[in-house]
Chain A
Amino acid sequence: MKLEKKIILSIMGGMLLGFTAFLSINYSMMYETTSTEIYDKLKGKSADLTRDIEEWLGDKQRTALALARRAQNLQDRSPANVRNYLYLVNQSANIDASMVYYKGQTLIHTEPDWALTPQEEEANMPYQTMLANGFNPTISKVFKSPINKIDNMVAAIAPFNGDSVATLVVEIKDVEEKVSSSNLDGGFAALIDVDRRLLVDPNPNFIGKKISEFNPELGWMEEKIFALKSGYIEYLVKGKVYLAFFDTIESTGWKVVLTLKKETAFANLTVQTKKLILISVIFFILGAIFIVIINILHEYWRREIELKRDEYEFILAHRSRISEIGELISGINHQLHQPLNSLSLLSSSMLSKSKNKTLTSEVLEENLIMSQKAIALMSTTIGMFRNFYRFDGNATTFCLKQCIDGVLQVLYIDFSRHNISVEIDCDRCDMLNITSVDNFIQQVLLVLLQNAKEALLMTNDRIDNKIQIHVSLDGELVNVDIADWGEGISKAIEEKLFDNIKSSKKTLGSGIGLYFARKLAREKLKGDLVLVQSSMPTIFRFSFKNYLSPKEQNDASANA
Chain B
Amino acid sequence: MHLQTLNLLNDICVLIVEDDEIARTTIKQDIKPYCKACYEAADGLSGLQSFKEHHIDVIITDIHMPGINGLDMIKEILKLKSEQLFIVMTSYDNDKNLIESMKEGACSFLRKPLDIEELQTALIMSLGRIKYTTKILSESVYIDYQKEIIYIDNQPVFLSHTSNKIFWLLSYNIGRLVSYNMIEDYIYDGESVNKNILHNAILRIKKQLHSIDIENIPSEGYILKVKTL
A residues near B, CB below 8 A?
Answer: 333-334, 337-346, 348-349, 352-353, 356, 358, 363, 367, 370, 373-374, 412-413, 415-419, 421
Distance from A376 Cβ to chain B, minimum over Cβ atoms (Å): 11
**Candidate in B26, B68, B113, B117 with the most chain A CB atoms within 10 angstroms:** B26
Given A352-B116, A416-B64, A421-B66, verify A345-B91 contact (CB < 8 Å): no
Across the interface, do A341 and B114 meet the contact criterion of CB distance under 8 Å?
Answer: yes
- Tell me if B27 is interfacial: C-beta within 8 Å of chain A: yes
Q: Which residues of B contact A363 (CB under 8 A)?
A: 29
Q: Give Cα A416 to B112, complex, Å.
A: 17
Q: Which residues of B contact A337 (CB under 8 A)?
A: 91, 112-113
Across the interface, do A341 and B116 meet the contact criterion of CB distance under 8 Å?
Answer: no
Q: Give Cα A232 to B25, complex, Å.
A: 126
Across the interface, do A345 and B66 meet the contact criterion of CB distance under 8 Å?
Answer: no
Distance from B83 Cβ to chain A, minimum over Cβ atoms (Å): 25
Nearest chain B residue, comparing its CB with the CB of A343: B113
Distance from A414 Cβ to chain B, minimum over Cβ atoms (Å): 9
Q: Give Cα A421 to B89, complex, Å.
A: 21
Distance from B122 Cβ to chain A, minimum over Cβ atoms (Å): 13
Q: Which residues of B contact A367 (CB under 8 A)?
A: 26, 29
A-B CB contact pairs (8 Å), 12 listed: A334-B91, A340-B113, A341-B114, A342-B26, A344-B113, A345-B115, A345-B116, A348-B114, A352-B30, A413-B64, A417-B63, A417-B64
Q: Which one, A345, A374, A417, contacts B69 given CB within 8 A? A: A417
* 15 extra A-B contacts, CB within 8 A, seeds A345-B22, A421-B66: A337-B91, A338-B23, A340-B113, A341-B20, A341-B112, A341-B114, A345-B27, A345-B113, A356-B3, A370-B26, A374-B22, A412-B66, A415-B66, A416-B19, A417-B71
Q: Which residues of B contact A340 (CB under 8 A)?
A: 112-113
Across the interface, do B66 and A342 meet the contact criterion of CB distance under 8 Å?
Answer: no
Nearest chain B residue, comparing its CB with the CB of A358: B3
Q: Give Cα A333 to B3, complex, Å.
A: 35
Nearest chain A residue, comparing its CB with the CB of B2: A356
B residues near A, CB below 8 A?
Answer: 1-3, 19-20, 22-23, 25-27, 29-30, 63-69, 71-72, 89, 91, 112-117, 119-120
Q: Which residues of A contact B117 (CB under 8 A)?
A: 348, 352
Across the interface, do B2 and A342 meet the contact criterion of CB distance under 8 Å?
Answer: no
Q: Which residues of B contact A348 (CB under 8 A)?
A: 114-117
Nearest chain B residue, comparing its CB with the CB of A418: B69
**Candidate in B2, B30, B72 with the most chain A CB atoms within 10 angstroms:** B30
Q: Which residues of A contact B26 (CB under 8 A)?
A: 342, 345-346, 349, 367, 370
Q: Which residues of B contact A356 (CB under 8 A)?
A: 1-3
Q: Give Cα A20 to B215, complex, Å.
A: 105
Q: Give Cα A413 to B95, complex, Å.
A: 12
Q: Give Cα A333 to B120, complex, Å.
A: 26
Distance from B161 Cβ to chain A, minimum over Cβ atoms (Å): 31
Q: Give Cα A363 to B116, complex, Å.
A: 15
Q: Give Cα A78 to B64, complex, Å.
A: 164
Nearest chain A residue, comparing its CB with the CB of B43: A416
Q: Which one, B1, B68, B114, contacts A345 given CB within 8 A? A: B114
Q: Give Cα A353 to B6, complex, Å.
A: 12
Q: Which residues of A contact B72 (CB under 8 A)?
A: 419
Q: Which one, B25, B69, B114, contacts A370 given CB within 8 A? A: B25
Q: Which residues of A contact B25 (CB under 8 A)?
A: 370
Q: Which residues of A contact B67 (CB under 8 A)?
A: 419, 421
Across the interface, do B3 and A416 meet the contact criterion of CB distance under 8 Å?
Answer: no
Distance from B25 Cβ to chain A, minimum over Cβ atoms (Å): 7
Q: Which residues of B contact A358 (CB under 8 A)?
A: 3
Given A338-B23, A349-B30, A373-B22, verify A333-B91 contact (CB < 8 Å): yes
Given A337-B91, A413-B64, A419-B72, verify A346-B22 contact (CB < 8 Å): yes
Distance from A331 Cβ to chain B, minimum over Cβ atoms (Å): 11
Q: Give Cα A441 to B80, complex, Å.
A: 45
Q: Give Cα A373 to B30, complex, Å.
A: 19
Q: Which one, A339, A416, A421, contacts B22 given CB within 8 A? A: A339
Across the interface, do A334 and B115 meet the contact criterion of CB distance under 8 Å?
Answer: no
Nearest chain B residue, comparing its CB with the CB of A370: B22
Across the interface, do B69 and A341 meet the contact criterion of CB distance under 8 Å?
Answer: no
Distance from B110 Cβ to chain A, minimum over Cβ atoms (Å): 10
Q: Give Cα A284 to B116, complex, Å.
A: 93
Q: Give Cα A353 to B71, complex, Å.
A: 32
Nearest chain B residue, comparing its CB with the CB of A377: B22
Q: Give Cα A374 to B20, complex, Å.
A: 10
Q: Give Cα A358 to B30, complex, Å.
A: 11
Given A345-B26, A349-B30, A373-B22, verify A416-B66 contact (CB < 8 Å): yes
Q: Give Cα A358 to B117, complex, Å.
A: 15
**Candidate in B2, B25, B68, B120 with the most chain A CB atoms within 10 angstroms:** B25
Closest CB pairs A-B (n = 5): A344-B113, A342-B22, A348-B115, A349-B116, A348-B116
Q: Give Cα A349 to B112, complex, Å.
A: 15
Q: Which residues of A contact B112 (CB under 8 A)?
A: 337, 340-341, 344
Across the interface, do B66 and A352 meet the contact criterion of CB distance under 8 Å?
Answer: no
Nearest chain A residue, comparing its CB with the CB of B98: A417
Q: Give Cα A418 to B95, complex, Å.
A: 12
Across the interface, do B69 and A419 meet the contact criterion of CB distance under 8 Å?
Answer: yes
Nearest chain A residue, comparing its CB with the CB of B115: A348
Q: Which residues of B contact A341 (CB under 8 A)?
A: 20, 23, 89, 91, 112-114
**Candidate in A337, A413, A417 with the most chain B CB atoms within 10 angstroms:** A417
Q: Give Cα A47 to B67, complex, Å.
A: 119
Q: Give Cα A418 to B113, complex, Å.
A: 22
Q: Which one, B20, B30, B68, contacts A342 given CB within 8 A? A: B20
Q: Which residues of B contact A418 (CB under 8 A)?
A: 69
Across the interface, do A352 and B1 meet the contact criterion of CB distance under 8 Å?
Answer: yes
Q: Give Cα A356 to B117, complex, Å.
A: 12
Q: Give Cα A346 to B29, complex, Å.
A: 10
Q: Which residues of B contact A421 (CB under 8 A)?
A: 66-67
Q: Which residues of B contact A413 (CB under 8 A)?
A: 64
Q: Give Cα A413 to B69, complex, Å.
A: 10
Q: Which residues of B contact A333 (CB under 8 A)?
A: 91
Q: Which residues of B contact A374 (CB under 8 A)?
A: 22
Q: Give Cα A356 to B2, complex, Å.
A: 7
Q: Give Cα A415 to B64, complex, Å.
A: 9
Q: Which one, B27, B29, B68, contacts A419 given CB within 8 A? A: B68
Q: Which one, B30, B64, B71, B120, contacts A334 given CB within 8 A? A: B64
Q: Give Cα A341 to B115, complex, Å.
A: 8
Q: Give Cα A346 to B120, complex, Å.
A: 14
Q: Give Cα A337 to B89, complex, Å.
A: 12
Distance from A490 Cβ to chain B, minimum over Cβ atoms (Å): 29
